[in-house]
Amino acid sequence: MSKKTLFLILVLFTFALVLTACGGGETVEVTRLVEVTRIVEAPADSGATDTTVPAPTGDTLTAVRDRGVLKCGGNQSVPGFGYINPDTNEFEGFDIDFCKAIAAAVLGDATKFELRPTTANERFPVLQSGEVDVLIRNTTWTISRDTSLGFDFSPTTFYDGQGMMVRKASGITSLEDLAGGTICVQSGTTTEKNLADVFRALGIEFEPKVFPDADTTREAYDTGSCDGFTTDKSGLVSQQILLSNPEDHIILDETMSKEPLGPLVRHGDNNWGDIVMWTVNCTIQAEELGIDSGNVDSFLGGDDPVVQNVLGETGDLGLAMGLDADWCYQVIKQVGNYGEIYNRNLGPDTPFNLPRGLNELWQNGGLLYSPPFR
């Protein structure tokens, strides 16, 4: 064996990080894969110098292609975002459509995805362990999730904030009116921590009642266990339609936090992170250009260079990520642009009729903005 041979010992081990991942007193045990690379020897006459060998990162794109199916972590109990349509028994919703969009970009077929429903507590270990390729499920982008938990977030698909639901008949019109009351909240969420922080800052005493998933939290509120029910405002709007008498409840005007929601992947597979990021950008860029699933074919063969890039008629933007040239065309054709995805799931023709607000394009006063397709 050549003396120049570097003996590399790759130690792959796991350790448990017990982090207060997102909720107040709730601790969440997460497992993080750590790859340690060590160079044992670079012999004096080898001409080699000791350099750190980068730890291998998984090739998620190849794994998905070999499998022929994209695995998304998601929700099953949040109508409008991620739920099982009882009529069709299929997963539907805003977040589900972004899972479909990635399947269209990567596999050329928006139907080639599997959805792994997760509670808030389950979602991070399910992504870290590799059980899913991407998590798309009303998850707030925070610094600790991005760094300590070892994830990379894609552009925000839904700018949200935490709200509070109360019974109309209670006469409660502000957070202060909840003084001394009970509040239903789900564990393993940013919600739990924000609630404590906001009420402490306001000097209000309250009793949190903590539940493990969306259904038990909503049912507890619905059956009168709590005076208030708090989660992201999108979640409240969604859960409201499942209450026994939705019209008996209101969501207070106050917004308690910033909750930028979007897809996330494991840190370390940069190409896969790029694919998820640019799939989201593709839907936004298409809306900016007025390209949708119905008219996309009429844009083919045009002379606008940006449109040509988006549709893969020129350049190698897709190839640089290992995708087919028409990856973004497939996203638009099969799933639609951002506005179509929004309206299909949350717009005026749905029970939610949620105004776009911050989720409007930047040209219309919102925060959605795609970097250039150049």
Ligand X SMILES: N[C@@H](CCC(=O)N[C@@H](CS)C(=O)NCC(=O)O)C(=O)O
- Is 152 a binding residue for ligand X by CB under 6 A? The answer is no
Instruction: Tell whether residue 228 is a contact of ligand X (CB under 6 A).
Output: no
Separation of alpha carbons 331 and 283, rounded Å? 7
Closest approach, Cβ 200 to ligand X, in A, equals: 19
Q: Read off the tokens for 67.
A: 């499998």
What is the b/e burial string over 177-201, where b = at least 16 CB atoms within 10 angstroms of the residue's CB? bbeebbbbbbbbbbbbbbbbebbee
Residue 214 found at the interface with ligand X (CB under 6 A): yes
Q: Does 119 bind ligand X (CB under 6 A)?
A: yes
Query: Whose Cβ is closer to ligand X: residue 96's or residue 332's?
Result: 96
140 binds ligand X (CB under 6 A): yes
* Nearer to ligand X among residue 163 and residue 312 (C-beta): 163
Which H helix or E strand runs over 122?
helix 120-128
Instruction: Please give the Cα distance from 301 to 296 (Å, whole number).
Output: 11
* Sites for ligand X among residues 15-54 (CB under 6 A): 22
Which residues in the 55-114 window bind ligand X by CB under 6 A?
Answer: 75, 77-78
222-231 b/e with 16+ CB inside 10 Å = b? beeebbbbbb
Stretch of 57-65, 128-136, 185-193, 299-307 contacting ligand X, by CB under 6 A: 185-193
List binders of ligand X among 287-346 (CB under 6 A). Answer: none
Cα–Cα distance, 168 to 170 (Å, whole number): 5
Buried (b) or exposed (e) across 243-265, using 16+ Cβ within 10 A? beeeeebbbbeeebbebbbbbbb
Q: Does 191 participate in binding ligand X (rule CB under 6 A)?
A: yes
- Separation between Cα atoms, residue 185 and residue 200, nearest integer Å: 16
60, 128, 138, 187: which one contacts ligand X (CB under 6 A)?
A: 138
Q: What's the CA gap between 49 and 322, in Å, rounded? A: 33
Comparing CB distances to ligand X, the nearer of 266 and 333 is 266
What contacts 56, CB < 8 A, 6 or more positions away?
Answer: 10, 35
- Choose the stretch contacting ligand X; rule: CB under 6 A; options: 189-197, 248-256, 312-320, 321-329: 189-197
Q: Which residue in the shown chain puts its C-beta closest to ligand X?
A: 235
Contact between 189 and ligand X per CB under 6 A? yes
Whole-angstrom Cα Rg for the chain: 23
Q: Is 231 in the site for ligand X (CB under 6 A)?
A: yes
Options 12-20, 183-191, 268-276, 354-362: segment touching ligand X (CB under 6 A): 183-191
d(CA 131, CA 58): 13
Task: Work out whether 186 is an interface residue with ligand X (CB under 6 A).
Answer: yes
Among the listed ranges 52-60, 84-92, 231-239, 306-314, the one in contact with ligand X (CB under 6 A) is: 231-239
Chain positions 249 to 268 lying near ligand X, rule: CB under 6 A, are: 259, 261
- State the Cα–Cα distance between residues 167 and 164, nearest whole angstrom: 10
227 contributes a contact to ligand X by CB under 6 A: no
Q: By C-beta, is 77 or 337 nearer to ligand X?
A: 77
C-alpha to C-alpha distances, 49 to 5, 7, 39, 269, nearest whole angstrom: 12, 13, 10, 27
Instruction: Pick between residue 138 and residue 285 the one whose CB is nearest to ligand X.
Output: 138
* Stretch touching ligand X by CB under 6 A, among 174-182, 228-236, 292-300, 344-352: 228-236
Decide the pairing of beta strands 207-211 and 162-167.
unpaired
**Closer CB to ligand X, 186 or 370, in the complex:** 186
Q: Which two tokens stand for residue 310?
A: 């988006």
| The one segment of 149-157, 182-190, 297-305, 337-345 that binds ligand X by CB under 6 A | 182-190
**Minimum distance, C-beta of residue 212 to ligand X, in the bound complex (Å):** 7
**Is 95 in contact with 137 (CB distance < 8 Å)?**
yes
Binding status of residue 237 toward ligand X by CB under 6 A: no
What number of residues does the chain have?
374
Residue number, 1 or 18, with CB nearest to ligand X: 18
- Residues interacting with ligand X, by CB under 6 A? 22, 75, 77-78, 119-120, 138-140, 186, 189-191, 213-214, 231-232, 235, 259, 261
